Structure 1
Amino acid sequence: MRIILLGAPGSGKGTQAQFIFKQYGIPIISTGEMLRTEVQCNSKHGKKIKKIIDTGNLVTDDLVIALVQERIHQKDCHKGFLLDGFPRTLSQAHTIKSYGIKIDYVFKFCISDELVIQRITGRRIHDKSGRIYHIKFNPPKIPNKDDLTGETLRIREDDREEIIYKRLSAYHKITKPLISYYHQETQKDKIKYYQFDSTKSVTQIHEDITHILDDKM
């Protein structure tokens, strides 16, 4: 099963990716994590990536796709993989197809901008443990304090409202056209396209995905 997860930040695709990974053993390929890992390891690619990022530019499609290609050819991806956050653009989608990277499923998570803002700006992080809270959906016992240590929680820079608006703007402008593209691809190839309502419970969405994947196995 080779799956692409599409959706705005805060749509819940990362949560569902973890469920799919645990249930089916399909590795998650997150380009954001891959880029950070390459930089930390100071690899050949990592040096190029750091130089690009330090100059304020975006990592090129060719470099990102090279990393994805290397990753999907590793042994644990032989039975399938999950692409989370990639492709982001039509150019990337066309390129992975031209490289012969086959996709079986595209899962699109639908959510309003208003709910994205509410979900993300309400997140609070405990740095040392990585524990995540939400002021509405999963509040700490004491406001702004970690339940176990009592240490102060923080808001990640990427979770600030002004940053979220910028991320949403980029998503609508660059990534949203992928929805139309993959709709068209379902007519040409054997790609199956499904949409999920992100206002539903995490459990319900997980059950819907499980029904789809189990039915096709």
Structure 2
Amino acid sequence: MIVIFLGPPGAGKGTQAAHIVERYKIPQLSTGDMLRAAVAAKTPVGVKAKEVMDAGNLVSDEIVGAIVSDRIEEPDCARGFLLDGFPRTLVQAEMLDEILAKKGLSVNAVIELKVDEAALLDRLRNRIEETKARGEEVRADDNEETFAKRLGVYSEQTAPLIPYYEKQGKLRAVDGMGTVEDVSAALDAILDPISA
């Protein structure tokens, strides 16, 4: 079972990813984690990635694709996996389709957590207030300006994946505004038949 999560920052992808990992016993593959692991393991792709990062540059789609390709060969991915943070662009989505096709695999479901952007801002404000009320330090990226930038990047780069996967018949929209339990139940209704 190969699943991709789409949704703007603050939509609850992290919370629901943990649910999917637990329920379906598949790993959550985060590009950031995979990149760090490849660098630490000094794999050929990891060495290339380290050179690029040490020079202060962003890692190319080709390097990210190669890291994903290597990672999904690991034994824990045999039953499937949840992709987090990849693909982010149409180029990456096409690359992923090619990588999977070469391995005789394909994406089973692309889940879009649909949320109201105004409500996301309210969620952010509440999280900031709750963090302060607990006497904890607010995360550096938990501010409206940074959040607005992240929403903009999502709309510009990642939202075009929605029609791409819709054309393939793989897109499933889930209302991300419900309770955590309601959203999890909606995800289970989509994924249970696929995982069977």
SS at 2:20's partner residue?
helix
**Higher share of residues assigned helix:** 2
Letter in 1 for 2:23: Q
Residue 158 of structure 1 pairs with residue 136 of structure 2 = no
Listed as ranges, the matches of 1:7-46 within 5 Å are: 7-39=7-39, 41=40, 43-44=42-43, 45-46=45-46
Aligned counterpart for 1:107 among listed residues 106, 111, 125: 111
Cα distance in structure 2, aligned partners of 1:97 and 1:177: 16
C-alpha spacing 1:166/1:54, structure 2 compared with 1 (3 Å):
farther
Aligned counterpart for 2:152 among listed residues 159, 162, 169: 169
SS at 2:133's partner residue?
coil
Which stretches of structure 1, 4 residues or more, deviate above 3 A after TM superposition? 36-39, 44-57, 120-123
- Checking the alignment, whether the CA contact within 8 Å between 2:38 and 2:67 is kept in structure 1 is no
SS at 1:26's partner residue?
coil
Cα distance in structure 2, aligned partners of 1:120 and 1:32: 23
Deviations 1:49-102 (A, max 9, x none): 454345553221011111111111100101110001210000001111122151
Unaligned runs of 5+ in 2: none
**What TM-score comes out, normalization by structure 2 length?**
0.86
Cα distance in structure 1, aligned partners of 2:141 and 2:68: 24
- Greater RCO, CA 8 A, separation 6+: 2
Deviations 1:9-60 (A, max 9, x none): 1111111111011011011001122234445x27354554454345553221
Equivalent residues, number: 190
C-alpha spacing 1:122/1:33, structure 2 compared with 1 (3 Å):
farther
Cα distance in structure 1, aligned partners of 2:183 and 2:148: 26
Q: Tell me which structure has the larger Cα radius of gyration.
A: 1
Give the C-alpha shift of residue 166 in structure 1: 1.2
Residue 196 of structure 1 pairs with residue 174 of structure 2 = yes
Give the superposed CA RMSD: 2.1
SS at 1:158's partner residue?
coil
Listed as ranges, the matches of 1:15-164 within 5 Å are: 15-39=15-39, 41=40, 43-44=42-43, 45-53=45-53, 55-99=55-99, 100=101, 101-123=105-127, 135=129, 139=130, 143-145=133-135, 153-164=136-147
Deviations 1:133-179 (A, max 9, x none): x53xxx36x8242xxxxxxx112222222211111111101100000
Unaligned runs of 5+ in 1: 124-133, 146-152, 187-191
**What TM-score comes out, normalization by structure 1 length?**
0.78
